[in-house]
Amino acid sequence: MTSKRPLLIPSPRTPNTQHLPALPVYSDIANPTSGGTGLFSGMDSRNPAAADNSINVELPTFKSSPQRSISSSQRSVSSSQGSVVEPPTFKSSSQRSVSSSRRSVVEPPTFKSSSQGSVVEPPTFKSSSQRSVSSLQSKASGNNSVRESISSLQSKNSGNNSVREVSFGDLESKPVRYGSRGADSEALSLSQKDLNEEDARVVYIDDLAKTNERFEYSGNSIRTAKYSVFTFLPRNLFEQFHRVAYIYFLVIAVLNQLPQLAVFGRGVSILPLAFVLLVTAVKDGFEDYRRHRSDRIENNRLASVLVGNQFHPKKWKDVRVGEIIKIQASEAIPCDMVLLSTSDPTGVAYVQTINLDGESNLKTRYAKQETLSKMPDKEKITGLIKCENPNRNIYGFHAFMEIDGKRLSLGPSNIILRGCELKNTHWVIGVAVYVGRETKVMLNSSGAPSKRSRLETRMNFEIILLSGFLVALCTVVSFCAAVWLRHNNDELDDILFYRKQDYSKGKVDDYNYYGWGLEILFTFLMSVIVFQIMIPISLYISMELVRVGQAYFMIRDGQMYDESSDSRFQCRALNINEDLGQIKYVFSDKTGTLTENKMEFQCASIWGVDYNGGRSSPEQVGYSVEVDGKILRPKMKVKADPDLQQLLRSGKDTNEGKHVYEFFLALAACNTIVPLVVDTSDPNGGLLDYQGESPDEQALVYAAAAYGFMLIERTSGHIVIDIQGDRQRFNVLGLHEFDSDRKRMSVILGCPDKTIKVFVKGADTTMFSVIDKRLNLDIIRATEAHIHAYSSLGLRTLVVGMRELSATKFEQWHSSFEEASTALIGRAALLRKVAGTIENNLIILGASGIEDKLQLGVPEAIDSLRTAGVQVWVLTGDKQETAISIGYSSKLLTRRMTQIIINSSSRDSCRRSLEDAILMSRKLMTVSADTQTDRGSSGHGGTQVALIIDGTSLVYILDSELEEKLFELASYCTVVLCCRVAPLQKAGIVALVKNRTADMTLAIGDGANDVSMIQMADVGVGISGQEGRQAVMSSDFAMGQFRFLVPLLLVHGHWNYQRMGYMILYNFYRNAVFVLILFWYVLFTCFSLTTAITDWSSMLYSIIYTAVPTIVVGILDKDLSRRTLLDYPQLYGAGQRQECYNSKLFWLTVVDTFWQSLAVFFIPLFAYWGSSIDRSSIGDLWTLAVVILVNLHLAMDVIRWNWITHAAIWGSIIATWICVFVIDAIPSLVGYWAIFHVIKTASFWLCLLAIIIAAMAPRFVVKFLYQYYRPSDVQIARELEKFGNPSASRPAQIEMNAILDLPRR
């Protein structure tokens, strides 16, 4: 649940009060009505700021809970991290509301100490803001975000509190469930409130009939396919006919079926449309078939379901709500289920949620203590689970379980979700609560909208314009025809070429004449049919073909081949190639996209000495140990620093050696890593795989192993570490798990030498405050300096400290730990407090630098994209520090940037933060604008603003009026980093931008958590990494590495956009010129819609005569070379500015078309006026003239002439000649032999030459003048390519070659 995430970085506006001592006075200020202050002393106070951010927990109001009656007066708004304690003296609800609102003053989001149990509030807050915030909070609390206060004073109402009950016994012998994390999460679940009847679903465990008694729950089968056999045809046709043009063509085809209007043959008029429809339908059908197949595979997977007293395999699709399911290790989880028991005696289960949130580490889930011992195959379990209705919040779950008369509350840590995989746990047993499409993962996969490229959308608009032209032409024709008919009405019977009346039958009858009005209508409709290619159907076919061709080249691009995963670029959507050239925003996932999600230990600062030689020495030291006759090596090798190794070998006699020893012991011990032995092919060998939730810890343990501190075994009570070949057993006396509040963890070890040591590791921000500054100040300084150096390298740093514990001190701690861990309420807070008592006065040991390995070329790629004018937003589920450190290492953030961090926890504070930030960034913008004008030409100078915002704040911002503000703010920022965002929030952010600008958005990600974002964005790119296929499956393009985005956008995107933009304009021109020629002729035929150009030529015009060159040019033409495009990323701006297709170009084309059609038509008309030329001959002349003209027009615009282009263009012209010859050699056609007669005349050739020169000249002149005097960037770059002096230019582009050359390893 995002809401429970701590707010780690202070919002810039909140005063830093984290070190304020506990002053009762403050609590008084905050809570003036709260009676005596005495009650507060020693109480734990938490930050209510975190309290109201629990949007995800959807809960009814707390009206009806019987259990609450006792505690109602004690309820308060509390946070996940703890509770605000109200005096128990309150009785009346009105008082309560006042007090709770008073209490819920926003505290600084940063807080450190859990040990000091007092209300800490900033004295600077004004009361007005307090009230506004608090009123909002109390309102919110009514709905969903009241947390039950937990305090030791309130142990009365423990019965229904949600603390996990764990029996802590003898520390050494009994398994211990450590830490406060679990308790933390459960503190959130609003256990004491009942779920509203209508909002809840009741699941009777193992009682399907009763479960389904009232509700009809769906089965577990899922369906991602769009069509079934029966719905395919209508649905697919329906979808296809969303294209305006298709409807148009359908209408035309239908019109042509009417006998009065039949201009062309009936079949012929339908053929093109039918062809396009068929091709698309086959393609769609095939895609859907693949979805069907994957659905079927998914639905037919087997799960082990309890039937009677035994677990039987059952297909996934048959799993029902309420069934008890047993999952074995490494099995996928078929539906969302509440855990009952696990193979682990403490009820822990590890799941991998990579498909859900993209995090590859293991998550712990817990079975309830009460159900742990139940074996459903041995004894029947009866009970019920009452849970909230299905929702898409994957981090939230709220339910009760009633079992054996006891009522247990369930939280998100008690449920395992479909899409996860069970790991490191032999089996779990659980009850299905949500199945099929009601599972959270299915609810989270929002349906894939079919995408249409921006260019095509625009084009559809222009097509509407063209239809306007078409209607105008037809209107002109029918109007003129009407006038003519009117004018000659009396003579119609006699006019030799009209002969209205038919005398051949007995009675005199009108022949083919339906009266004036109908004639006009028919003329109109016929002219629509004759001029139909004004709207180019061939364009749709050409576009499909061009996209296939472009996709072919993208797939074949050697620079986008990923060697590590042996994967090519994949083009999954063929509709949006050209969108790649217009991207303005890139939304990137972090884990797995920017980074490889592999943490690697890089360097350490131990006792003030920086050891980072490991990076330069390639020496791979493989320590190994022998366990049970097997030689075990760590799975991952880490480069080791030779100095450090030397130091370690020399033993721990020296002061230095001692500290190094302690440091690595801390690394090996202070964690929750579970070592697993993985068998290898070598029967005597094995690999030690360190499994754990935190990849950082894994990295540290691997590092320790590399230096000879190999963690071999971990049980609840002890760990075994092989230290330089010497196996030692340490008793784990206590362990304070990491929590995001303290941001550190500690372990208490009973060492073999009978000393008790506390090892603490944590984030520098919190560690330095618990380190004893009186000792070793210079060491601390040095370490701090090193940490700074590391983090500026983008390394993730952790500080390690230790202290020795005296026996008495340990006893003291132990008893309080015991007490805290058995406490039923507020255990988390208590444990935190206990941890606080021991995590202080530490001796600093050192710090480690871990690299969250960026993928190859990411910083360069980001830099390149930024230069190209693409805004890169990073949306990650990770925590803020991680995100920021990756931001630095990926060059997304630079030290010069001003960071705006928004961590707000209420709508109001969000609004204020946003407004402040907007003001600030505006100020910065104006300042930087000023400085920029002074500084001259250094590109992006001045202050850049980076916005860092977390998921909690986004909860308040998205879907509210604050969106507008966020968007405004974001538009000032060069970088936006969103941390802790849930999958749907990612989509929300994308939508935020997408809906507000006309700019194109691209989302790139690798995990299932990115699916919604990928689908939301205009272009979705999936990283086909090692983990999961969901992102790829939902993406439009898939590739192996983030850096391929650069060639994809800058090179292929640019090309595709330029090609497609030109192709569309050209196709408009090509068809319009032809239609206009037909139109002009109609004006000389009594408006009777005769064409001089034969029907065959009309049909072949856009199929044979002119189609191939535009397709070839659309696939192959390159305005600039790859190298130039990569050298000058700014050239990408051509697409963003829509330089290749815009209304100006469109209208220019229209004017040009008009002129060219005039030239083509009227030159022969005047030349042959009053001559004996026949219709076929002049028709052939027009045909040839227009075909040669449009092909030369294309030739004039071709930028790169390779042999294929030559072949296509000249070949088309030749083919046209041949076709004309062939058509005129068919005796049954009217125009028999016409061409052979006409080419013998000189005037034919003179006309042809004159037409071509006269028609092309204006365009040529304009083109030249424009290119020469108003050159675009692309034009300049082209000239540079051809004439440029390579040594003189490109001073700053050298490093860009990195990207260019990288893939050619």
Examine residue 1232 and tell whether it contacts other proteins (CB under 8 A).
yes
> Which two three-digit tokens encode residue 544?
């499909």
| Residue 568 assigned as binding residue | no
> Which two three-digit tokens encode residue 608?
């003030």
Find the shortest distance in angstroms from Cβ 286 to other proteins.
Answer: 21
Examine residue 917 and tell whether it contacts other proteins (CB under 8 A).
no
Judged by CB under 8 A, which of 106, 325, 580, 854 binds other proteins?
A: 854
Residue 1196: burial class (beta carbons within 10 Å; 0-12, 13-18, 19+)? exposed
| Residue 589 assigned as binding residue | yes
Which residues ranging from 565 to 604 are in contact with other proteins (CB under 8 A)? 566-568
Find the shortest distance in angstroms from Cβ 180 to other proteins.
Answer: 35
Cα→Cα distances 36→86, 89, 130, 156, Å: 11, 10, 21, 21
Asked whether 261 and 526 are in contact (CB, 8 A), the reply is yes
User: Cα–chain-centroid distance for residue 1272?
Assistant: 34
Beta bridge partners of 871: 585
Report helix, strand or coil for 1284: coil
Residues that contact other proteins, how many (by CB under 8 A): 124
In this complex, which beta carbon is closest to other proteins, that of residue 507 or of residue 754?
Answer: 507
Cα→Cα distances 1112→540, 1195, 1211, Å: 15, 11, 12
| Residue 722 assigned as binding residue | no
Find the shortest distance in angstroms from Cβ 1260 to other proteins.
Answer: 8
Report the greatest alpha carbon distance in the chain: 130
Judged by CB under 8 A, which of 66, 259, 405, 936 binds other proteins?
A: 936
In this complex, which beta carbon is closest to other proteins, that of residue 357 or of residue 860?
Answer: 860
Examine residue 511 and tell whether it contacts other proteins (CB under 8 A).
yes
Task: Report the alpha-carbon distance of residue 432 to residue 201 in Å, rounded.
Answer: 12
Examine residue 1269 and tell whether it contacts other proteins (CB under 8 A).
yes
In this complex, which beta carbon is closest to other proteins, that of residue 100 or of residue 269?
Answer: 269
Examine residue 1292 and tell whether it contacts other proteins (CB under 8 A).
no
Judged by CB under 8 A, which of 172, 199, 379, 502 binds other proteins?
A: 502
Which residues ranging from 762 to 801 are in contact with other proteins (CB under 8 A)? 794
Task: Report the alpha-carbon distance of residue 1201 to residue 1211 in Å, rounded.
Answer: 14
Instruction: Mark the segment that binds other proteins (CB under 8 A) among 126-134, 606-614, 728-736, 1232-1240.
Output: 1232-1240
Give the x/- contact pattern for other proteins in 1144-1163, rule: CB under 8 A: -------------------x
Report the b/e string of 17-38 with b at 16+ CB within 10 A: bbebebeeebbebbbeebeeee
Instruction: Mark the segment that binds other proteins (CB under 8 A) among 5-13, 26-34, 463-471, 1222-1230.
Output: 1222-1230
Instruction: Mark the segment that binds other proteins (CB under 8 A) among 93-101, 332-340, 396-404, 1193-1201.
Output: 1193-1201
Instruction: Mark the segment that binds other proteins (CB under 8 A) among 10-18, 550-558, 576-584, 821-829.
Output: 550-558
Examine residue 626 and tell whether it contacts other proteins (CB under 8 A).
no
Asked whether 809 and 840 are in contact (CB, 8 A), the reply is no
Residues 6+ apart with CB under 8 A from 411: 162, 185, 186, 188, 189, 191, 397, 398
Residue reference for tokens 């125009």: 1231
Judged by CB under 8 A, which of 276, 856, 884, 992 binds other proteins?
A: 856
Which residues ranging from 1167 to 1186 are in contact with other proteins (CB under 8 A)? 1167-1179
Examine residue 1300 and tell whether it contacts other proteins (CB under 8 A).
yes
Judged by CB under 8 A, which of 290, 426, 556, 773 binds other proteins?
A: 556
Q: List, as one string, the DSSP characters of 89-127.
A: T--SHHHHHHHHHHHTPPPPS----SSS-S----TT--H
Instruction: Mark the segment that binds other proteins (CB under 8 A) among 162-170, 388-396, 805-813, 936-944.
Output: 936-944
In this complex, which beta carbon is closest to other proteins, that of residue 612 or of residue 909?
Answer: 612
In this complex, which beta carbon is closest to other proteins, that of residue 126 or of residue 1304?
Answer: 1304
What does residue 901 show for φ and ψ, rounded to 5 degrees?
Answer: -115, 125
Give catalytic residues, as residue numbers: 589
Give the x/- contact pattern for other proteins in 944-963, rule: CB under 8 A: --------------------
Task: Report the alpha-carbon distance of residue 980 to residue 881 in Å, rounded.
Answer: 11
Instruction: Mark the segment that binds other proteins (CB under 8 A) among 193-201, 656-664, 1059-1067, 1244-1252.
Output: 1244-1252
The alpha-carbon radius of gyration of the chain (Å, integer) is: 38
> Which two three-digit tokens encode residue 860?
């360069």
DSSP secondary structure code for residue 264 in this structure: S
Question: Smallest Cα–Cα separation from 186: which of 415, 388, 431?
Answer: 415
User: Cα–chain-centroid distance for residue 241?
Assistant: 30
Find the shortest distance in angstroms from Cβ 1302 to other proteins.
Answer: 6
| Residue 986 assigned as binding residue | yes
In this complex, which beta carbon is closest to other proteins, that of residue 5 or of residue 568?
Answer: 568
Judged by CB under 8 A, which of 94, 124, 128, 504 binds other proteins?
A: 504
Which residues ranging from 794 to 853 are in contact with other proteins (CB under 8 A)? 794, 851, 853
Task: Report the alpha-carbon distance of residue 1197 to residue 1212 in Å, rounded.
Answer: 16
Task: Report the alpha-carbon distance of residue 707 to residue 701 in Å, rounded.
Answer: 10
Find the shortest distance in angstroms from Cβ 167 to other proteins.
Answer: 47
| Residue 672 assigned as binding residue | no
Cα→Cα distances 825→162, 164, 183, 830, 1002, Å: 7, 9, 9, 9, 47
Examine residue 1166 and tell whether it contacts other proteins (CB under 8 A).
yes
Judged by CB under 8 A, which of 379, 404, 494, 804 binds other proteins?
A: 494
| Residue 641 assigned as binding residue | no
Examine residue 378 and tell whether it contacts other proteins (CB under 8 A).
no
Examine residue 696 and tell whether it contacts other proteins (CB under 8 A).
no
Task: Report the alpha-carbon distance of residue 223 to residue 1160 in Å, rounded.
Answer: 57
User: Cα–chain-centroid distance for residue 723?
Assistant: 44
Find the shortest distance in angstroms from Cβ 869 to other proteins.
Answer: 7
Q: List, as one string, the DSSP characters of 35-98.
A: --SGGGTT-----GGGGGG-TT-----SSS-TTHHHHGGG-----TT--PPPPTT--SHHHHHH
Examine residue 1298 and tell whether it contacts other proteins (CB under 8 A).
yes
In this complex, which beta carbon is closest to other proteins, that of residue 750 or of residue 1025?
Answer: 1025
Alpha carbons within 13 A on the beta-carbon side of 659: 17
| Residue 796 assigned as binding residue | yes
Examine residue 1243 and tell whether it contacts other proteins (CB under 8 A).
yes
| Residue 742 assigned as binding residue | no
| Residue 738 assigned as binding residue | yes
Find the shortest distance in angstroms from Cβ 857 to other proteins.
Answer: 6
Examine residue 449 and tell whether it contacts other proteins (CB under 8 A).
no
| Residue 591 assigned as binding residue | yes
Judged by CB under 8 A, which of 173, 214, 497, 517 binds other proteins?
A: 497
Judged by CB under 8 A, which of 175, 219, 869, 1211 binds other proteins?
A: 869
Judged by CB under 8 A, which of 81, 1205, 1212, 1216 binds other proteins?
A: 1205
Phi-psi region of 687 (alpha: psi -120 to 50; beta: other; left: phi over 0): beta
Question: Smallest Cα–Cα separation from 152: which of 26, 44, 22?
Answer: 44
Asked whether 1296 and 1129 are in contact (CB, 8 A), the reply is yes
> Which two three-digit tokens encode residue 702?
């691997």
Report helix, strand or coil for 1091: coil
| Residue 172 assigned as binding residue | no
Beta bridge partners of 631: 626, 685
Judged by CB under 8 A, which of 1089, 1107, 1189, 1248 binds other proteins?
A: 1089
Residue numbers belonging to the annotated binding site for Mg(2+) = 589, 591, 1006, 1010
Residue numbers belonging to the annotated binding site = 589-591, 697, 738, 761, 796, 876-878, 980, 986, 1006, 1009-1010
Residue numbers belonging to the annotated binding site for ATP = 589-591, 697, 738, 761, 796, 876-878, 980, 986, 1009-1010
